[in-house]
Amino acid sequence: MKFYPPSCPYSACSSQGAAPFQYQRKGRYRRKCDGRLIPRFLCGVCGRQFSSQTFRFTFRYRRPNLRLQLFQLLTAKVTMRQAARILGCSRDTVDRLHRKMGRICREYHQIHLQVNRGRVVGTFQLDELETFETHRLARPVTVPVLIERRSYFVLHTEAAPMGPRGRLNPAAQKRKDTDEALYGKRRSGSRQAVKRTLKLLREVLPEDQPLNLQTDRKSTYRSLAREIFQGCLGSHVRESSRRRRDYRNVLFPINHTLAMMRDGISRLVRRSWGASKQRERLEDHMAIWVAYRNYVRGITVVAPQTTPAMSLGIMDKPADACEILAWRWPKQMTPRPAKQARF
């Protein structure tokens, strides 16, 4: 496929944001890692040269396929250290790729939500998963997860701090005291996180569409749903979290999604050495998993070719890691190819 540069890749170039972008084709070169021919360009404004590779995720990578292998491992319960051993690279490399993949996967998902703003319909389920960063008792973390019920499409996940748990053992108490001396009191961000999650839902739903929400009986869900959706709150089914969590439970899809997250994301596995050290990195890891869950993996093993995104009607075929991790700036790259300008 022919490559059309959307803009000059240098952020300091004054052509940024100016349309149409003026450039010239400037030959090709052979890429060292696999011998492919890569087209070169010349910016009509700053006069700097760049190639299609400058825009790619793998820009200046010696092992461009490493990210694809890492994508498979990070969505299959493999810890970061073990991934480094399996791939034969350093832990720093895994760490760097993990951050970058987190950002790119998040952007990829956001673009799809943005493009389909006002077109996402269905019944939505919200619940929170509990985990921690470094210390289970002193630094708990809550993870609100919002899905569409029928398609199992994950609309949003994020990680927010929670206050230390009630009764702490001496070690946890010590950790809590050190934390408080350093960062101040650890307060719960659960309410704000759920609020952000519901606001996002408000944006993607059609204007006239009433919200059909299903949650457990936590009182904040009801008050926040009423606050954000006001008159457009169609129905809010509230199931007791004590009810058996089997297929007949109304909340089966969200319970199943949380179980899949615990099964696929190494740092969410209970009683594991691979638990999160920083919740920001948990967010990166979840962004990678969400991209895999929504756009790559089939909804069930019975229908491996139908992804949640296809079932929701926002995509017509499954994506693969290669497509998700193609560009350094997916937000810039998604628009259709612009015509080549002459100068």
Determine, following the binding rule CB under 5 A, whether residue 287 of this chain makes contact with Zn ion: no
Q: Which is nearer to Zn ion, 45 or 228 (CB)?
A: 45
Determine, following the binding rule CB under 5 A, whether residue 43 of this chain makes contact with Zn ion: yes
Stretch that binds Zn ion, among 42-50, 126-134, 196-204, 293-301 (CB under 5 A): 42-50
HEC string of 295-338 equals HHCCCCCCCCCCCHHHHHCCCCCCCCHHHHCCECCHHHHCCCCC
Stretch that binds Zn ion, among 41-49, 53-61, 78-86, 303-311 (CB under 5 A): 41-49
Instruction: For residue 211, list its beta bridge partners.
Output: 233
Q: Which is nearer to Zn ion, 8 or 261 (CB)?
A: 8
Query: HSE of 320 in the Cβ direction (CA atoms, 13 Å)?
Result: 5
Minimum CB separation of residue 44 from Zn ion in Å reads 8
Determine, following the binding rule CB under 5 A, whether residue 193 of this chain makes contact with Zn ion: no
Query: HSE of 170 in the Cβ direction (CA atoms, 13 Å)?
Result: 0
Stretch that binds Zn ion, among 2-10, 176-184, 253-261, 277-285 (CB under 5 A): 2-10
CA 316/CA 305 separation, integer angstroms: 11
Spell out, one character per residue from 296 to 325, where the chain touches Zn ion: x when CB under 5 A holds, - when not: ------------------------------
Minimum CB separation of residue 175 from Zn ion in Å reads 50
Is-cis flag, bond preceding 20, omega within 30?
yes
Determine, following the binding rule CB under 5 A, whether residue 258 of this chain makes contact with Zn ion: no
Determine, following the binding rule CB under 5 A, whether residue 269 of this chain makes contact with Zn ion: no
Stretch that binds Zn ion, among 43-51, 112-120, 221-229, 289-297 (CB under 5 A): 43-51
| Residues listed for the chain | 343
**Sheet harboring 49-51: ordered strands across?**
23-30, 37-43, 49-51
Determine, following the binding rule CB under 5 A, whether residue 8 of this chain makes contact with Zn ion: yes
Determine, following the binding rule CB under 5 A, whether residue 13 of this chain makes contact with Zn ion: yes
Residue in this structure with the two tokens 């904040």, named with its chain if needed:
220
Total residues at interface with Zn ion (CB under 5 A): 6
Closest CA to 134 of 302, 282, 3: 282
CA 337/CA 327 separation, integer angstroms: 14
Minimum CB separation of residue 15 from Zn ion in Å reads 5
Element (H, E) at 214: strand 211-215
CA 197/CA 286 separation, integer angstroms: 15
User: What b-and-e string marks burial along 241-268, b requiring 16 or more CB atoms within 10 Å of the CB?
Assistant: eeeebeeebbbebbbbbbeebbebbbbb
Minimum CB separation of residue 23 from Zn ion in Å reads 8
Q: Which is nearer to Zn ion, 24 or 134 (CB)?
A: 24
Determine, following the binding rule CB under 5 A, whether residue 168 of this chain makes contact with Zn ion: no
Minimum CB separation of residue 13 from Zn ion in Å reads 3
Stretch that binds Zn ion, among 40-48, 113-121, 257-265, 326-334 (CB under 5 A): 40-48
Determine, following the binding rule CB under 5 A, whether residue 9 of this chain makes contact with Zn ion: no
Determine, following the binding rule CB under 5 A, whether residue 46 of this chain makes contact with Zn ion: yes
Q: Which is nearer to Zn ion, 42 or 113 (CB)?
A: 42
Q: Which residues form the interface with Zn ion (CB under 5 A)?
A: 8, 13, 15, 43, 45-46
